[in-house]
Amino acid sequence: MLLDPIHGWKKLYWWFPVDQCDEHAECGAFGVCNTSDSSVCKCLRGFVPKSPEKWALRDFSDGCVRRTALDCGRGGDGILKCDEHAECGAFGVCNTSDSSVCKCLRGFVPKSPEKWALRDFSHGCVRRTALDCGRGGDGILKVTGLKSPNTSKSRVDQNMSLNDC
């Protein structure tokens, strides 16, 4: 209600929700509301309902909690960064929207799958098969959004041919 003592008028503002997701915190902490889904509320990735019994009754107000305790140690949880070339290594692409963080470019595989399983992506990726630049071979692949390595301290061996390379 809005009052204006000078002019002596009152005005009442009223609002009502259009759908269930218009209500503030409908799904609670770490919950996401979407009326097009059958469940309406879902937990963010890595989270589970705090009160599964209430969620079964469609009471989502308690929200979600972490599935496992936060672990910010090496290889655990933390802030994902993708601004450094070395994060995903050679021929790797950073992807913070995926749980694996790094992916290899098409046609490449992790150089060290064991280390990738431990979330150490620094060794990068290698070709799945040998490079074939002949007719109908690999050619050049255009990639967008990939940060190029810093070549300011690179060396060139002018005695090496393309075949040797």
Mean pLDDT, the chain, whole residue set:
75
- Helix ranges restricted to H, the chain: 52-56, 113-117
CB 60: neighbour CB atoms within 10 A?
Answer: 24
Residue-range domain boundaries for the chain:
19-66, 85-127
- Helix ranges restricted to H, 12-80: 52-56
List the beta bridge partners of residue 10: 3
Of 118, 107, 98, nearest to 140 (Cα)?
A: 107
Of 49, 19, 17, 18, nearest to 31 (Cα)?
A: 49
Poorest-confidence range of 8-12, 47-51, 114-118, 130-134? 8-12
- In tens, the pLDDT along 107-148 reads 889 998 888 888 788 888 888 887 776 666 666 666 677 777
Q: With the C-alpha atoms ordered 157, 161, 164, 165, is the resulting torsion angle positive or negative?
A: positive
Residues 6+ apart with CB under 8 A from 153: none
Percent of the chain with pLDDT strictly greater than 70: 63
Residue 61 DSSP SS3? coil
Residues 30-36: what's their mean pLDDT?
82
Of 83, 98, 97, nearest to 146 (Cα)?
A: 83
Contact (Cβ atoms closer than 8 angstroms) between residue 69 and residue 49: no
Could you tell me the pTM of the whole model?
0.37
Q: What share of the chain is helix, strand, coil (3-state, %, to 5)?
A: 10, 20, 70
Which residue type, as a one-letter code, is found at position 67? Answer: R
Residues 69-77: what's their mean pLDDT?
65
Q: Which residue has the higher pLDDT, 108 or 86?
A: 108
132: part of which helix (H) or strand (E)? none
Contact (Cβ atoms closer than 8 angstroms) between residue 107 and residue 127: yes
Tokens for 113?
């799958």
